[in-house]
Chains A and B, each alone.
Chain A
């Protein structure tokens, strides 16, 4: 969607200040790495900077770009390894800790489906659109992820 002459669109710096943390959180849930999240969000803003005048509705655009950036990093197998295991820097209740650890064991696609569906509250059809996968495949990813988690967390 492009902006019109009457609507200059959102300011990039303001958008950055407003949404950076939201995007970092999404990226972190997707990849479990603070550094990779930082890289992904920085790359998204750097890329968006070049085409900002064409962005009308920034947050959905940026979220989708972050997902793709994280996915791209996975696909290209950068194999960059942070200090393992990266965990939240605060103590979490055991149940949360255990669930987070199991999420990290899912395949990247299953994890992305789970994050987009349960954190972003996207219907599976929209998850499929964001991930560029057929809806039936995403339903399968979702089912397999839940099956795994049901077994692992029981």
Chain B
């Protein structure tokens, strides 16, 4: 039978753990060099310049509607900014070119917009995917793709829950033409959509998939060094 730890020992251990873990966070290691951070930026209320196509209209993502005024509310998106749309277990989403700005400059990349998280009249709740290294600035951030453009095997990826599963978005070199996903009895090559000098490939992760390998392809050939195994972040 285990004996409960003495409260003083727990407190000492907590202090030691918190200081040790905090000490592992350094500019170089955590947010700068090495493999680029997963570039995800949640977003509410900063997407501006929207025009014609309503995101949250439950009939069709291409239907025209005008909702509310002001950049912070779910409004409309010009159809030319919509990159693709899809659905996971009946939950629809789309990728659209971002119109966000940072430090007064336009950002590049795509927003993943889940329909049920962006209902008419609510605040925007979207996710931004960008390609390159994030450079933090006092007023926001900017993206530097230089290192990535020099090495086609580099990519950023991250996901968001959609429906009962996830949509995982790969931001890849502009020469990449596909992202191959393989698991034990599963294989799929994701389409790559070119936006702002990069490619973006959404992966609708099947509900029963727990682990898979991704590889970047250029004209059907695997980009050396691009293969990576991923575990799906399910709660259970």
- Kindly list chain B residues whose C-beta atoms are within 8 Å of the C-beta of A84: 231, 233
- Kindly list chain A residues whose C-beta atoms are within 8 Å of the C-beta of B21: 28-29, 88, 92, 96, 100
Q: Once bound together, how far apart are the Cα atoms of A13 and B27, in whole Å?
A: 16
- The 0/1 profile, CB within 8 Å of A marked 1, for residues 11-51 of chain B is 10111111111111111011100100111111010000000
Tell me if A's interface is mostly helix, strand, loop or mixed: helix
- Kindly list chain B residues whose C-beta atoms are within 8 Å of the C-beta of A41: 136
Q: Once bound together, how far apart are the Cα atoms of A125 and B25, in whole Å?
A: 28
Which residue of chain B has the shortest Cβ distance to A115 in the bound complex?
A: B18
**8 Å CB contact of A114 from B14, B16, B24, B40:** B14
Q: Is A133 in contact with chain B by the CB < 8 A criterion?
A: no
**B22–A96 touching, CB < 8 Å:** no
Q: Is A108 in contact with chain B by the CB < 8 A criterion?
A: no
- The 0/1 profile, CB within 8 Å of B marked 1, for residues 5-30 of chain A is 00000001100100011001110110
**A92–B24 touching, CB < 8 Å:** yes
Q: Once bound together, how far apart are the Cα atoms of A12 and B18, in whole Å?
A: 28
- Kindly list chain B residues whose C-beta atoms are within 8 Å of the C-beta of A76: 44, 125
Tell me if B's interface is mostly helix, strand, loop or mixed: mixed
Task: Contacts A38-B134, A92-B20 given; indicate if A46 touches B38 (C-beta within 8 A).
Answer: no
Task: Contacts A21-B27, A90-B24, A154-B5 given; indicate if A118 touches B158 (C-beta within 8 A).
Answer: no
**8 Å CB contact of B4 from A24, A37, A151:** A151
Chain B: residues with Cβ within 8 Å of the partner, total of: 50
**B10–A146 touching, CB < 8 Å:** yes
**8 Å CB contact of A38 from B14, B136, B158:** B136
Which residue of chain A has the shortest Cβ distance to B231 in the bound complex?
A: A84
- Kindly list chain B residues whose C-beta atoms are within 8 Å of the C-beta of A29: 18, 21-22
Task: Contacts A38-B31, A42-B140, A153-B5 given; indicate if A82 touches B158 (C-beta within 8 A).
Answer: yes
- The 0/1 profile, CB within 8 Å of B marked 1, for residues 56-86 of chain A is 0000000000000000010010111111100
**8 Å CB contact of A34 from B23, B37, B41, B138:** B37
Q: Is A149 in contact with chain B by the CB < 8 A criterion?
A: yes
- Kindly list chain B residues whose C-beta atoms are within 8 Å of the C-beta of A107: none
**B18–A35 touching, CB < 8 Å:** no
Which parts of B133-175 form the interface with A (CB within 8 Å)?
134, 136, 138-141, 158-161, 166
**A39–B233 touching, CB < 8 Å:** no
**B159–A81 touching, CB < 8 Å:** yes
Q: Once bound together, how far apart are the Cα atoms of A28 and B40, in whole Å?
A: 15
Which parts of A86-117 form the interface with B (CB within 8 Å)?
88-90, 92-93, 95-96, 99-100, 103, 114-115
Besides A39-B40, A46-B140, 6 more A-B contacts (Cβ < 8 Å) are A29-B21, A38-B37, A38-B134, A83-B38, A99-B16, A146-B10
12 contacts between A and B (CB under 8 A): A21-B26, A28-B22, A38-B31, A38-B134, A38-B136, A39-B42, A46-B140, A80-B40, A88-B21, A118-B14, A146-B10, A149-B5
B residues bordering A, Cβ < 8 Å? 2-5, 7, 10-11, 13-27, 29-31, 34, 37-42, 44, 102, 125, 127, 134, 136, 138-141, 158-161, 166, 230-231, 233
